[in-house]
Amino acid sequence: MTEKSYAQDLDVERISFGITSQYNIPGGDLGSFWGNAFGAGPTIQYKISKDFSFEGNLIFSYLKPLDKKNEMSLPKITLLNMPAGIKYYINFAPSQKQLFIVNFQAGIENNTFIYSGEGSELVEENPVESEFGVFLSAGIEFFLTNKISTEFFSAVQNIFSLPENIRIYNFGVKLFIN
C-alpha cells in the first residue's frame, strides 16, 4: 500500500523578487521626537492564484531625533521592519492586456528597534526591542514589460507597544522581476 502525499511542489514561475523603497512618517510619541525616514529592502512575492499572492519584505530605516538639542538625550533608531501578508488584486480589464492592477494587502509584522548613540541606555535596559504589529496597504501595480512591474503603494502600520501603540504611515514604490 502506498501513502498518498498531499505536499504540493513549489512552482518557481509564481515567485517574484523585488526591492522596496518607502518614506516612513511616524505618528504618536515616535513622531513627536523622531523625524521621518526613508526605508529600503528586499521583497519576495508568491502568486497563490490570479487574485491572491503572499508577500514578505525586509525594510531597514534609520530615524534621527527631530530636535538638535534632544540629540544628546535621545538615541538614534535603526528600525528593522519585517511585514508579511496576503495581497488581493482587482483587475479592471480582465479580458484585455493588463496595464495596471489595484491591490489591497493586510498582514502581520515584526518591528525591531535598535537604539544607538547617546541616550540609548535611557530608553530600555536592552538596546534592542522587538514589537509585534499589523498593517494595511493599498497599491497600483503597473506592468512595464511581461517580466517587470512596479507598484506605488501607501500603508498604515500599527505597532503594539507600551505605553501606547505606534502608528507609522508609509508611501513607496516596489519594483518586481517576475
Q: Would you say residue 2 lies in a domain?
A: no
Q: Write down the mean pLDDT value for the chain.
A: 87
Grid cell at residue 113: 528597534
Q: Would you say residue 6 lies in a domain?
A: no
Whole-number Å distance between alpha carbons of 19 and 22: 10
Burial of 175 (0-12, 13-18, 19+ CB in 10 A): middle
Whole-number Å distance between alpha carbons of 80 and 37: 12
Q: Would you say residue 5 lies in a domain?
A: no
Q: Would you say residue 10 lies in a domain?
A: no
Q: How confident is the model over 57-91, as pLDDT tens digits?
A: 999 999 988 876 655 678 889 999 999 999 999 98
Residue 85 is predicted with a pLDDT of: 97
Q: How confident is the model over 114-156, as pLDDT tens digits?
A: 988 776 666 666 788 899 999 999 999 998 888 899 999 999 9
CATH number of the domain that residue 139 is part of: 2.40.160.20
Residue 4 is predicted with a pLDDT of: 55
Q: Would you say residue 3 lies in a domain?
A: no
E strands present in 66-165: 76-90, 100-116, 128-143, 148-159
Residue 24 is predicted with a pLDDT of: 96
Whole-number Å distance between alpha carbons of 159 and 31: 13
Residue 122 is predicted with a pLDDT of: 63
Q: Would you say residue 56 lies in a domain?
A: yes
The number of distinct structural domains making up the chain is 1
Q: Would you say residue 4 lies in a domain?
A: no
Whole-number Å distance between alpha carbons of 24 and 41: 13
Residue 163 belongs to domain spanning:
15-177
| pTM for this predicted structure | 0.84
Q: Would you say residue 102 lies in a domain?
A: yes
Determine phi and psi for 5, rounding to 5 degrees: -95, 130
